[in-house]
């Protein structure tokens, strides 16, 4: 039981680290494309703002 719990904690920590890395990478990509003035990125931000 203790072994399984420890394994679960480690895997959930790894998941959080992966999720954070993915978010950082996506943010950098969006920031880079936005800096280049790509139109569909502005469209995505508009969609997110309106919640559609």
Name 41's Cβ contacts closer than 8 Å, sequence gap at least 6: 30, 33, 34
Task: State residue 20's pLDDT score.
Answer: 92
Smallest CA-to-CA distance from 48 within 30, 25, 22, 29 is with 30
Domain that holds residue 35: 2-50
Smallest CA-to-CA distance from 31 within 17, 50, 18, 44 is with 44
Query: The pTM is what?
Result: 0.45
Can you give the length of the chain in residues? 52
Task: State residue 6's pLDDT score.
Answer: 65
7-52 per-position pLDDT tens digit:
666 778 888 999 999 999 988 887 777 666 567 767 777 878 876 5
Residue bearing the bigger pLDDT, 45 or 5: 45
């Amino acid at each position: 039981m203790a072994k399984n719990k420890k394994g679960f904690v480690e895997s959930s920590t790894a998941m959080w680290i992966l999720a954070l890395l993915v978010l950082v990478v996506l943010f950098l990509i969006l920031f880079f494309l936005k800096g280049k003035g790509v139109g569909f990125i502005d469209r995505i931000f508009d969609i997110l703002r309106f919640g559609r």
